[in-house]
Structure 1
Amino acid sequence: MDMLELPVLQLPALSPLTVNAASSVFGFLSIFLCYKALVARQLPSPWGLLQLILRPLTRRYKAWAYLFWGPEIIQKAFDEAGGKPFELFAPDNRYVYVSDPQQIKELDHAPDTVLSLQAASKQMLQPMYTMHGFNWFNTRGTEGVGFIRALRTLLTNNLPKILPDLTCIIRTRFQELHAEHPVINGKKQSDVYHMTVKLVVLSNAVSFFGKDLAKDEQFMVSALAYIEETLICAEIVRLLPSFLSPIVGNIIARRLKSHAVIFNRLLPIAQERCLERDAAKLGQKVPQHADCIQWIMETSPKNAPWTPQRVVHELMAIWFGSVHAVSTTVTFAIHDLCLHPEYVEPLRAECEAQYGDFERTGTGLPLLDSFIKESARLTPVESQSTRRSALKPFTLKDGTHVNVGDWFCTPVRAIMTNPIDYPEANTFSGFRFANPELVKSLENGHGSFDILQEKPTKLTDVDMKFHVWGTGRMACPGRFYASAVMKVILGQVILNYDCKLVNPKARRLFTWRSTILPNPSTKIVFTPIRGESEAINV
């Protein structure tokens, strides 16, 4: 696992004008604080005065430092807290982290009108500016929660119909992307993160909207750009003073085109589906569709069906979450295949024997499942999970308090590397979560692997020790689909290529706030284990 190191800052020489200005500010603060102390008849000592001056400056520095070194700051605070809640500040927020299972349950049981995942997501993504004016409510369920059934049940149940075609599409597209990459020092070098994002965008387009829309080049280009544009735009708006956010947000929204292209391309389809819905209610015969557009529409509230615009807005929000999380997780898993080649042989044997069953059921491949879960444990997309924004003041049973606008959350990365719950917590053990009997059986020809967890668990499981999908009743409803797509992409890599990092010692990741992202410049050599025209079809 890479250790995140704090860079040494090289500060430029200060001009006399800058020094004079800083001295003036410092002097003004000193005079002001002395005046306040005199009024209160409590004149501090020189050291006390210095502390009064530096305290707010130190707090602001720490808040801005959180943007650059969030995961390390969270880990340090978690270690010092000893299992108790702790608070951290970002420039725009106060975060209160809890890791005790009982306190996490308190968060889960709190009413949505008090602690809101919706409000936290709204602050993170700024959908008014990034999702074509989508202004969702702060309280979950105000407009219905049918999308949960659409993702958790309908999309999951449809996996056996999706996966066979998706496998062929991903295998072919991987070959096309690989063929485009440059040959350096006699070997093709692939920008693995960009490659993976394109594969996930294609997977989601096929699964959510069907093959026809996936062939629309303009839509696909915008769908790819939309992820990065959303992240950048939302972050700029979050860091601005509140009076500037609407002005700058609207300017950025007008200049970024991807969200408008996606909205305008999906809207006519949603309008047609809504007309068909109304016609069906009158007893007319209408075409049958099996895609996310249809499922989102059908699971909207019966007494107040969503408009076509509302359906498209929901699809845009789902699209962002699915592409961002899946592509990052798959990229880090490919890194781990390169760093731990001893796992390739048993994983390849499993895929050759069982991939067909996985396609037909949407489940299975337990060794690959464990490998992805272990990769996600050590390099999760987020170091912060279970986000709840306080719509009203709220106090835990131990007295921990948040005011309106503060967030409760869990330090997911720190929890998942806690040696109390995970033996050899900072060591990559790809089959950690597989059935111990299955791992023992690999000794007959596939090497020996340590058994560190006696109880097998799945990638899609949600519990108090693994928060990748969130916790409790708010856990991600699309995790079964996401897990299947991860297995499709990684399965095609394992079945058809040997992979090697061009520079194993180079930094593979970077952080922003609590997010951990792959370094886009990381390159991998994918070597076909047979001619690419003979890629295995299991």
Structure 2
Amino acid sequence: MLFSKFYDVLEDQRLHRLLFLILIGIYIYNELRSWWHVLGRPLYVRITTTLSDYRSGKYYKPWGSNAPIFIVSTKKQIAELSEATCLSQRAVYADMFGFKHTMNKLEHNTSNHKVIRTRLYSRILQVNGPIHLAALYPRLVNQFDASLAKELQEGRILDGSVSLPIADTARRLVSKLMSLMFFGDSLCSDEEFSSALLRYPQDMVKCMAAFQVVPSFMSPIIHALLTNRGEAMHLIQRKLAYCIRPENSSQTDSKQSQRLTILHNIITLADSSDYWNPDLLSQSLLGIWFAASHQPWMNLHFVLLELCTRKEWQNALRQEIEQYGPLDYKGLEQLPLLDGFIKETVRCNPLDTLAIRRKALEPYTFSDGSVSVPSGATVCVSAHDLMHNPQTYAEPDAFNPNRYLPQEPNAQQRKFTEVSETYPIWGFGSLACPGRFHASLAIKIAISQLLLKYDLSLENDKARTKWTWETFTMPYKSTKIILKDRSL
């Protein structure tokens, strides 16, 4: 109990802000001691400039001192927001997560080579990637079983069941699955590399929070303090760059296994390009990894919470899974109720209440004249409003996975990976999340395997499960799930 409360205190955003303000104070104090007699007036100017930065809101915030601009969100407007060349998705997230520091000086405030990058990412993740998922499926299930067994060994035994922290368990399970899809068996089994893959997204989120409460000139210091000088980032990029170099690219997995991975495909597709080189490819893989590994474990966390509080759905989903069993990749993708449950969980628990964020690299006015966006401003849509529109979702505040089930015998299944202007969690248009098929598969494997083997419940039905920061929803590390073996 005491340990749980300690974790909750550590996650308190007010404590985070206080710690960062203390760091600022220490930094200024050291500057005063070291340079007061030498610099004199210049030091005074520097301090007053820092104070002026605070007053004028010059933080490393995603949208500076101004709130984001919302568009009315018709389908035409959303499409224009998604595709306008001077409205940059890359730039807004680079500001938010401080890519200059967290992605090793990644260039972002430019549209140069945008088409080259987009084509490569889409080809790898939306075309080549899904083709290989069916062949990867048995290995992924084996990886999940091995990872879960390790988690169970370290769990706490309660009356023959096992108690596990939902957030950390979901994070580790999904990270292992995504690692296998991305990098193959050899790198996935490299514990040093796997540990870095797990730490890196956490480093990104910590820096995102920290950069918003310190002046921008302190960002390198804060990044170094929070990430041990970018240890995980540099280790990942170093190992990837080694594997990407032509003389080393065939030394990892067997040819049959290797060709199924994103790493192999990105090497193959970029081989004839003058733009891509090992360092740039490894840097880009860092960004793809963060996007692909962070969202699925968070969504899995909320799916598990919903299953624990809505136990009747465990039986319903289990029956559907058993009906199509034994499952292969094709069978797992043909479970409409499972897709519906995940879609509804994410609709009711969006990780971010905003979506399709773009930063204007130059002034832009929408074609219908409705919105003018100044250079440097962020424009976006309200994901919450779009997914709670009663014209699209009847009784939008009710949790109802059945709303996605086909209403007619030959109607098309409503997939979790579906991209729609009424369900913007994946983005929209050509920049819709290309890794959504991999993320969806990781979540579905985890849910199906857990439901087939265990009954799920919360250790404490009254435990706090989530908290909000800015527009984001965050899990509590202290929340525990009970896995009760169904065979006993």
Q: TM-score range by the shorter chain?
A: 0.7 to 0.9
Determine the C-alpha separation between the residues in 2 that align with 1:287 and 1:304: 27
Alignment counterpart, residue 89 of structure 2, candidates 114, 117, 121: 117
Structure 1, 159-168 or 287-296: larger mean CA deviation: 287-296
Structure 1, 138-147 or 339-348: larger mean CA deviation: 138-147
Whether 1:97 aligns to 2:70 is yes
Change beyond 3 A, Cα 1:266–1:400: same
The structure with more radius of gyration: 1
> Secondary structure at 2:69's aligned position in 1?
strand
After TM superposition, the score normalised by the length of structure 1 is 0.73
Deviation track 1:31-76 (CA, whole Å, cap 9, x = no partner) reads: xxxxxxxxxxxxxxxxxxxxxxxxxx9997xx99xx9xxxxxxxxx
Change beyond 3 A, Cα 1:358–1:431: farther
> Secondary structure at 1:297's aligned position in 2?
helix
Determine the C-alpha separation between the residues in 2 that align with 1:291 and 1:211: 9
Change beyond 3 A, Cα 1:382–1:331: same
Deviation at 1:367, TM superposition (A): 1.0
Alignment counterpart, residue 383 of structure 2, candidates 412, 420, 424: 412
| 2:307 alignment partner in structure 1 | 337
Deviation track 1:334-382 (CA, whole Å, cap 9, x = no partner) reads: 1111111111122112212325454246622111111100001000111
Name the Cα RMSD after superposition.
3.1
> Secondary structure at 2:399's aligned position in 1?
coil
| 1:38 alignment partner in structure 2 | none
Change beyond 3 A, Cα 1:93–1:327: farther
After TM superposition, the score normalised by the length of structure 2 is 0.80
Deviation track 1:294-352 (CA, whole Å, cap 9, x = no partner) reads: 21223338441511111111111111111110001011001111111111122112212
Deviation at 1:250, TM superposition (A): 5.5
> Secondary structure at 1:144's aligned position in 2?
helix
AA matched with 2:240: L
Determine the C-alpha separation between the residues in 2 that align with 1:418 and 1:504: 30
Whether 1:156 aligns to 2:156 is no
Determine the C-alpha separation between the residues in 2 that align with 1:250 and 1:153: 37
Determine the C-alpha separation between the residues in 2 that align with 1:221 and 1:286: 26
Deviation at 1:185, TM superposition (A): 6.8
Change beyond 3 A, Cα 1:93–1:305: same
**Which structure 1 segments of 5+ residues have no match?**
1-6, 10-56, 68-88, 278-284, 439-453, 532-538
Alignment counterpart, residue 508 of structure 1, candidates 448, 465, 473: 465
Deviation track 1:73-129 (CA, whole Å, cap 9, x = no partner) reads: xxxxxxxxxxxxxxxx9654430112431322331342x2x2111111211222221
Preserved contact between residue 156 and residue 163 of structure 2 (Cα < 8 Å): yes
> Secondary structure at 1:484's aligned position in 2?
helix
> Secondary structure at 1:290's aligned position in 2?
coil
Whether 1:421 aligns to 2:378 is no
Determine the C-alpha separation between the residues in 2 that align with 1:176 and 1:195: 10
| 1:231 alignment partner in structure 2 | 205
| 2:179 alignment partner in structure 1 | 205
> Secondary structure at 2:401's aligned position in 1?
coil
**What does residue range 382-461 of structure 1 map to in structure 2 within 5 Å?**
382-396=352-366, 397-436=368-407, 457-461=414-418
**What does residue range 165-204 of structure 1 map to in structure 2 within 5 Å?**
165-184=139-158, 187-204=161-178
Change beyond 3 A, Cα 1:417–1:261: same
The sequence identity of aligned pairs, in percent, is 27
| 1:144 alignment partner in structure 2 | 117
Deviation track 1:257-305 (CA, whole Å, cap 9, x = no partner) reads: 111221222221111467779xxxxxxx999733111212233384415
**What does residue range 212-251 of structure 1 map to in structure 2 within 5 Å?**
212-246=186-220, 248-249=222-223
Determine the C-alpha separation between the residues in 2 that align with 1:469 and 1:302: 30
Determine the C-alpha separation between the residues in 2 that align with 1:483 and 1:269: 27
**Which structure 2 segments of 5+ residues have no match?**
1-11, 15-53
> Secondary structure at 2:389's aligned position in 1?
coil
> Secondary structure at 2:474's aligned position in 1?
strand
> Secondary structure at 1:527's aligned position in 2?
strand
| 2:102 alignment partner in structure 1 | 130
Change beyond 3 A, Cα 1:410–1:253: same
Determine the C-alpha separation between the residues in 2 that align with 1:219 and 1:489: 22
Deviation at 1:400, TM superposition (A): 2.2
AA matched with 1:220: S
Whether 1:518 aligns to 2:481 is no
Change beyond 3 A, Cα 1:243–1:257: closer
The alignment covers a number of residue pairs equal to 428
Preserved contact between residue 322 and residue 482 of structure 1 (Cα < 8 Å): yes
Change beyond 3 A, Cα 1:502–1:474: same
Deviation at 1:194, TM superposition (A): 0.4
Alignment counterpart, residue 470 of structure 1, candidates 417, 427, 448: 427
Change beyond 3 A, Cα 1:225–1:109: closer
Deviation track 1:229-271 (CA, whole Å, cap 9, x = no partner) reads: 1111233234433344355446656534111221222221111
Preserved contact between residue 166 and residue 203 of structure 1 (Cα < 8 Å): yes
Preserved contact between residue 115 and residue 389 of structure 1 (Cα < 8 Å): yes
Deviation track 1:374-409 (CA, whole Å, cap 9, x = no partner) reads: 001000111111111001111233442221111110
Whether 1:311 aligns to 2:284 is no
| 1:77 alignment partner in structure 2 | none
